[in-house]
Amino acid sequence: MKKHYIIFAGLVMVGILYPQMFPGYLSVAITLLLYAGWATAWDILGGWAGQVSLGHASFVGLGAYFVAVGTAHHEIAPWWSILMALVAAAMLAYLWGRLTFKLKGPYFTLSTIAIAEIFRLIAINEGWLTGGATGVFIMTLPEPFGLDLFSRQVNYYLALAFAAITVLVVMLISCSKFGYQLRAVREDEDSAMASGINPTTVKLKAFMLSGALTALGGGIYAIFLSFIEPHIIFYLLLSVQIALTAIIGGRGTIWGPCVGALLIVGSGEIFRTTFAEANMLIYGLLIMVVVIFMPRGIVGEPARYLIRRVYAKRAQG
Amino acid sequence: MPSALKADGITVSFGGVVAVNDVSLDVEQGKILGLIGPNGAGKTTLFNALTGFVTPQAGRIYLHGNEITRLPPYMRTRVGIGRTFQTERPFEELTLLENVLVAAFLKEPKRKKAEQLAMDVLEKVGLADRYDQPALDLNLARRRRLELAKALAVQPSVLFLDEMMAGLNPPALKEMIEFVRRLTDQNLTIVMVEHIMEAIIELSDHVIVMANGSVITEGLPRDVIEDPRVITAYLGED
Amino acid sequence: MFDYVSFLQNLSNGVLIGGVYALIGVGLTLVFGVMKIINFAHGDFVILGMYCAVLLNSLLGWDPYLSLLVAMPLGFVAGALLQRLVLSRLMEAPPESSLLVTLGLALVIGNILLLTFGAEPKSVNVSYASSTVSLGEVSFSMILLLAGLATMVVIAGLYTVLNHTELGRAIRATADNRLGAELVGINTRWIEAVVFGIGMALAVTAGVVLIPLLFATPTFSGAIFTLKAFVVTVLGGLGNIGAAIAGGLLLGVVEVMGASYLTSDYRDAYGLLVFLLILLLRPEGLFGKTVKRV
């Protein structure tokens, strides 16, 4: 575990210094950090608790809309609206989970798509609440401590903070009682119950935490874009991107989702000119290769191989 | 001795088929109850009703005098029931220590203490030297012992063992019997479903024989296996 | 005063469009019944069919229905190959693996279409696009009528194959009890390839039938059709073909009725709501048996 904290500290250092080294590439880095954070947050539910959701765009949308509508229509400072979004997201996740956690495996996944689609339709059609299909512009933002929240630099540090908080939360969970309860529920619910664990409660907690963290990223995303529209922010493909980033990197691992984000955002940059708008092609190809050849993901598969090998060696000698 | 586990008139049916029909039992603290019967007799269903994994249509269950009939499985574990599964279910992605740790957290929420408890239990079942091995690669005898360790780590007062002996080779069987016997020295009450007669005879204080969902006879192990009704139930009428 | 004419008009439109939904749903449910996998790329197969008709129309001036001659066999072969080369590798994998791989496949298909045809919506103009047939005061759009007719023919054909041929018997046996089918000498791996081929051919057919009616867009509409196919199959019960047909008709009617009597803004939501309700209220009943392991 100690080595994870050392890696974490090192990465945060690099993250802090990055804008000084590559001031011209801030937008890519912001995208990378947001996806790393979202995928890590998704993984609390999808990887550690084993409930694959394809509806997490709802939480991005919730966070983004609270911030955008809050500043544009009600003059609420973004930090207050993000706080409200966190509470709202946790409540939404609670109700959502209560409703759907009796569904198993693929059926749970299908229900998340349906619910997220309904939210998208609400965001498009209920203009009085959301600004409708045209979306919402953020024209003015307060300047806490004289910081310009529109500047790329500030956006970057917000995204860095988001990614770091999310990874830190997962690191803390991974060796806690809750972390083991999550893994037990993922592996075998009956066996977990025989150990005194209530699977529904554990999954609900995971969903609430996952949803709230995702909404936090959504709020920062809104500030970064300063213009949000429901077609993008509530879109099924965003849910798919978040989930696939984590799965490709490695479900239920600390660094898998971050590696997934690096790989996907990175290759997206490299192939941007080649594939133009067909950037999801990379996701499609990668997820097929990963699920077929390395089902535990790019980080998970070698890690597991190493552990088993080390043990086999020790057993012999 | 006071009653540890008591069941009154347990009846379970699945879509009109009665799997367990009006079964009652009473186990004293520190004793071992053996549950035997031919395949399809309803032993496992009764077992699951007692541990909460199946809801009985009628009857009441008491643990140390407190009714637990309506409690879900995880609540029963919290009030003192431990169980193993017939087909062992280790958390395959976790190491042995982590497997037991999951259960140990129930009584010891602090990681350090829980780890100590888990290690003690692994020591007890003889798996301590493999504590950091992934559970996926275990052989059958060790999987059984891990299953037992998980059940013991919740520190139960009544332990349910579901066919722990099946498929073990003679030395492993002897070891397991010895181990289970030692458990009752610590005042643990045990209910076991078993096909291996050797284990039933050596361990049980009391045996219940089931066939077609009902109790056909019960008593001391030696008396029960010589009962002609039991022989008929196992071998058929003619 | 209740307007019977417009009610009947809506009902007939709902039933006809529902027939096409049924065609999409039947393919999905057949694949699920035999292979127990959830095919997320099914909607993109529909889109492939649409683009096949678009391509043949723009190159050779073919009528969409003529292009079925090419699209159906091509869909069958492509489906069978996909099953043999990709999906057969997932037999032992956890249940959501097939969902993820077919999701990947959906993204690949959509984005390759995007690279090939561009993002702007495409359609095929047919001479009978605006002609109608009247029955009393209710008028039927020619395109919808043809679509409904084609659906009936294809489903009747499928029914005949499944119930009156040796191949159909083998497919039903495999869906019923895989091991049992293998024991009596059925090559279930081959059956799976055939079934996935049939599923894809049905989806492609639905796409061709829909092209005079709808625009084809490469990446967006695939997911919508997949969702509709799921709605259809869940309405009826996964793995049950007769029920999928009923589910398709029901979805068509619910959508058209909801759009005209409630609000058309939520046209796509009505089906999803029904989908959720059924999933939540009757999951076992509609998805077949979920056996509780103890």
Q: What is the pLDDT of residue A82?
A: 92
Distance from CA of C238 to the nearest CA of B (A): 22
Q: Tell me what the mean pLDDT of segment A35-54 comes to.
A: 94
Chain A residues whose C-beta is within 8 A of a chain B C-beta are 175-177, 180-181, 183-184, 187-188, 190-199, 252, 304, 307-308, 311-312, 315
Chain B neighbors of A190, CB-CB under 8 A:
53, 73, 85, 89
Q: What is the pLDDT of residue C78?
A: 94
Distance from CA of C47 to the nearest CA of A (A): 16
The pTM for the full model equals 0.88
Does residue A58 carry a pLDDT above 50? yes
Give CA–CA dist A266/C28, Å, rounded: 35
Distance from CA of C288 to the nearest CA of B (A): 15
- Give the CA-trace dihedral at A89, A90, A92, A93, to 10 degrees: 110
Does residue C285 carry a pLDDT above 70? no
Subunits with 3+ C-beta pairs closer than 8 A to A: B, C
Contact B200, B207 (CB under 8 A): yes
Does residue B5 carry a pLDDT above 90? yes
As a whole number of Å, the CA-based R_g of chain C is 19
Chain A neighbors of B68, CB-CB under 8 A:
none
Mean pLDDT computed over every residue of chain B:
89
Q: What is the pLDDT of residue B62?
A: 94
Q: What is the pLDDT of residue C236?
A: 66
Q: Do C276 and A107 touch (CB under 8 A)?
A: no
Q: Do A192 and B137 touch (CB under 8 A)?
A: no
Does residue C126 carry a pLDDT above 80? no
Q: Do B77 and A188 touch (CB under 8 A)?
A: no
The residue of chain A with its CA nearest to that of B82 is A194
- Please tell me which residue, A172 or A130, carries the higher pLDDT value: A172
Q: Which residues are CB-neighbours of B133 under 8 A, at least 6 positions away?
A: A311, A315, B95, B96
Q: Do C276 and A115 touch (CB under 8 A)?
A: yes
Q: What is the pLDDT of residue C41?
A: 92
Q: Tell me what the mean pLDDT of segment C88-103 comes to.
A: 83
Judged by a CB distance cut-off of 8 A, whether residue C230 touches chain A is: yes
Q: Which residues are CB-neighbours of B149 under 8 A, at least 6 positions away?
A: B96, B99, B100, B118, B121, B122, B124, B125, B127
Spell out the domains of chain A, with CATH numbers in brackets.
2-316 (1.10.3470)
Mean pLDDT computed over every residue of chain A:
88
The residue of chain C with its CA nearest to that of B51 is C294
Among A124-128, C98-102, C196-200, C209-213, the range with the most confident prediction by mean pLDDT is: C196-200
Cα-based angle A221, A227, A228 (whole degrees, multiple of 5): 70
Q: Do C107 and A280 touch (CB under 8 A)?
A: yes
Q: What are phi and psi of B6, to 5 degrees?
A: -140, 135
Chain C neighbors of B55, CB-CB under 8 A:
none
Chain C neighbors of B44, CB-CB under 8 A:
294
The residue of chain A with its CA nearest to that of C223 is A236
**C117, part of any domain:** no
The residue of chain C with its CA nearest to that of B73 is C294
Q: Do C227 and A114 touch (CB under 8 A)?
A: yes
Q: Tell me what the mean pLDDT of segment C210-236 comes to.
A: 79
Contact A298, A247 (CB under 8 A): no
Here the ipTM equals: 0.89
Q: What is the pLDDT of residue A317?
A: 52
Q: What is the pLDDT of residue A224?
A: 92
Mean pLDDT computed over every residue of chain C:
83
Subunits with 3+ C-beta pairs closer than 8 A to B: A, C
**C67, part of any domain:** yes
* Window from C29-43, C80-94, C125-139 with minimum mean pLDDT: C125-139
Judged by a CB distance cut-off of 8 A, whether residue A96 touches chain C is: no
Q: What is the pLDDT of residue C237?
A: 64
> What are C161-187's pLDDT values in tens digits?
888 888 888 888 888 888 888 888 888
**C294, part of any domain:** no
Judged by a CB distance cut-off of 8 A, whether residue A278 touches chain C is: yes
- Please tell me which residue, A154 or B227, carries the higher pLDDT value: A154
Does residue B57 carry a pLDDT above 80? yes
C-alpha atoms less than 13 angstroms from C-alpha of C94 in its C-beta half-sphere? 15
Residues in B 63-102 with any Cβ partner in C closer than 8 A: 85
Judged by a CB distance cut-off of 8 A, whether residue C290 touches chain A is: yes
CB-nearest to A295 from C97, C223, C263 is C97
Residue entry with tokens 């057993």: A315
Q: What is the pLDDT of residue C291?
A: 36
Does residue C288 carry a pLDDT above 60? no
Q: What is the pLDDT of residue A281?
A: 86
Q: What is the CATH number of the domain that holds C49?
A: 1.10.3470
Q: What are phi and psi of B20, to 5 degrees?
A: -130, 130
Q: Tell me what the mean pLDDT of segment A56-80 comes to.
A: 88
Chain C neighbors of A125, CB-CB under 8 A:
263, 265-266
Q: What is the pLDDT of residue A220?
A: 94
**Can you give chain C as a three-state secondary structure string?**
CCCHHHHHHHHHHHHHHHHHHHHHHHHHHHHHHHHCCCCCCHHHHHHHHHHHHHHHHHHHCCCHHHHHHHHHHHHHHHHHHHHHHCHHHHCCCCCHHHHHHHHHHHHHHHHHHHHHHCCCCECCCCCCCCCEEEECCEEEEHHHHHHHHHHHHHHHHHHHHHHHCHHHHHHHHHHHCHHHHHHCCCCHHHHHHHHHHHHHHHHHHHHHHHCCCCCECCCCHHHHHHHHHHHHHHHHCCCCHHHHHHHHHHHHHHHHHHHHHHCHHHHHHHHHHHHHHHHHHCHHHHHCCCCCCC
Among B30-34, C3-7, C258-262, the range with the most confident prediction by mean pLDDT is: B30-34
Q: Do B137 and A187 touch (CB under 8 A)?
A: no
The residue of chain B with its CA nearest to that of C293 is B53
Q: What is the pLDDT of residue A207?
A: 96
Give CA–CA dist B228/B195, Å, rounded: 18
Sheet of B206-211, strands arranged across: B81-83, B158-162, B189-193, B32-36, B206-211, B214-219
CB-nearest to B154 from A180, A190, A196 is A196
The residue of chain A with its CA nearest to that of B76 is A196
Pairing of strands B17-28, B3-14: antiparallel
Pairing of strands B214-219, C132-135: unpaired
Does residue C282 carry a pLDDT above 70? no
How many CB contacts within 8 angstroms connect chain A with chain C? 120
Distance from CA of B78 to the nearest CA of A (A): 6
Judged by a CB distance cut-off of 8 A, whether residue A59 touches chain C is: no
Distance from CA of B76 to the nearest CA of A (A): 8
B/e letters for C131-168, b = 16+ CB within 10 Å, e = fewer, are eeeeeeebebbbbbbbbbebbeebbeebeeebeeeeee
> What are B124-161's pLDDT values in tens digits?
888 888 888 888 878 888 898 999 999 999 999 999 99
The residue of chain C with its CA nearest to that of B49 is C294
Task: Give the pLDDT band of residue A117 (cuts 50, 70, 90).
Answer: confident
Q: What is the pLDDT of residue C293?
A: 32
Q: Which residues are CB-neighbours of B87 under 8 A, at least 6 positions away?
A: none
Distance from CA of C35 to the nearest CA of B (A): 26
- Please tell me which residue, B206 or C127, carries the higher pLDDT value: B206
Name the β-bridge partners of B218: B208
Pairing of strands B32-36, B206-211: parallel
Domain with C15, as residue range(s), is 4-111+143-287
The residue of chain A with its CA nearest to that of C89 is A292
Does residue A101 carry a pLDDT above 50? yes
Does residue C286 carry a pLDDT above 50? no
- Please tell me which residue, A219 or A22, carries the higher pLDDT value: A219
Q: Looking at domain B3-80+156-235, which CATH architecture does it have?
A: 3-Layer(aba) Sandwich (3.40)
Q: What is the pLDDT of residue C238?
A: 63
**C94, part of any domain:** yes
Task: Give the pLDDT band of residue B34 (cuts 50, 70, 90).
Answer: very high
Judged by a CB distance cut-off of 8 A, whether residue B12 touches chain C is: no
Q: What is the pLDDT of residue B236?
A: 65
Q: What is the pLDDT of residue A283?
A: 85
Contact A106, A209 (CB under 8 A): no
Q: What is the pLDDT of residue A315?
A: 64
Does residue A316 carry a pLDDT above 80? no
**Extents of the domains making up chain B:** 3-80+156-235, 91-155
Does residue C283 carry a pLDDT above 70? no
Q: What is the pLDDT of residue C287?
A: 42
Give CA–CA dist A119/A218, Å, rounded: 15
> What are B154-187's pLDDT values in tens digits?
999 999 999 888 888 888 899 889 889 888 888 8
**C262, part of any domain:** yes
